[in-house]
């Protein structure tokens, strides 16, 4: 099927159930905070390389982590109990994104979706209270963490990085605890990976995920 072009003067998205086989719903538009939040509230997120037009995705299946299903290995539990990392939230958002960008550029020599345009857009979301960072520090240095967007009672995870062993995993563990304390339901992990599945993430049908997103709008929680 054809991919729907977005109108820059409208924030309306097509029904994500009609995404193409890869999960692309639409292309174009811009990264206005209102557009991005409208996308997330419809189970859609932007993901594209710098040389491409903005692509909007709603993959099927969708990867999620139910907070009570987080798996912690014995070795990671020992690291958590040692308290070698200082954990903070929302104190270094832009630098978290910059470090995620650096890590991705190192992994994929072709580039990363975390462009300067994306960093600027999500930093604006952070400034108005919709995007958040979770951060791990070692001896005062930022060594791990990640960021995401909250909608209702769902935290939509975007990316993580680690410059020291287990730093991002420990930060992620503390993120889950914070979300539990604030009555969140789950983390949207978007695309499955071995790393995420080792932490307890699973895949569900897009239709089921979209129903959860719809329900979340009636259960707004504060990060």
What local confidence, expressed as pLDDT, does residue 39 receive?
98
Write out the residue limits of the CATH 3.30.70.3550 domain(s) in the chain. 4-59
Specify the domain boundaries for CATH 3.40.630.70 within the chain: 63-216
Q: What confidence category does residue 109 fall into, taking pLDDT thresholds of 50, 70 and 90?
A: low
Q: How many CB atoms lie within 10 A of CB 46?
A: 22
H-type alpha helices, 83-163: 93-107, 116-127
Report, in angstroms and rounded to the nearest whole number, the Rg of the chain calculated over CA atoms: 17
pTM, rounded to two decimals: 0.95
Per-residue model confidence as pLDDT tens digits over 15-66? 999 999 999 999 999 999 999 999 999 999 999 998 899 999 999 999 999 9
Tokens of 104: 């991705």
Whole-angstrom distance, CA of residue 143 vs CA of residue 52: 31
CATH architecture of 63-216: 3-Layer(aba) Sandwich (3.40)
Kindly report the CATH number that applies to the domain delimited by 4-59: 3.30.70.3550
The pLDDT of residue 220 is 87
Token pair belonging to 34: 């209102």
């Amino acid at each position: 099927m054809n991919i729907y072009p977005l109108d820059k003067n409208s924030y309306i998205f097509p029904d994500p159930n009609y995404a193409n086989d890869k999960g692309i719903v639409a292309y174009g538009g811009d990264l206005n905070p209102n557009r991005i939040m409208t996308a997330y509230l419809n189970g859609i997120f932007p993901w594209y390389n710098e040389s491409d037009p903005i692509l909007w995705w709603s993959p099927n299946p969708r990867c999620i982590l139910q907070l009570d299903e987080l798996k912690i290995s014995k070795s990671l539990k020992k690291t958590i109990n040692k308290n070698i990392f200082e954990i903070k939230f929302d104190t270094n958002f832009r630098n978290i994104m910059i470090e995620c960008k650096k890590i991705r550029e190192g992994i994929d020599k072709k580039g990363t979706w975390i462009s300067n345009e994306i960093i600027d857009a999500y930093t604006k979301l952070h400034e108005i209270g919709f995007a958040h960072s979770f951060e791990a520090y070692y001896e005062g240095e930022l060594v791990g963490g990640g960021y995401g967007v909250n909608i209702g009672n769902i935290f939509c995870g975007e990316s993580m990085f680690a410059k020291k062993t287990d730093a991002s995993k420990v930060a992620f563990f503390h993120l889950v605890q914070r979300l539990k304390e604030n009555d969140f339901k789950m983390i949207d992990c978007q695309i499955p990976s071995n790393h995420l599945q080792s932490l307890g993430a699973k895949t569900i049908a897009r239709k089921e995920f979209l129903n959860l997103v719809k329900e979340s709008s009636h259960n707004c929680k504060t990060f």
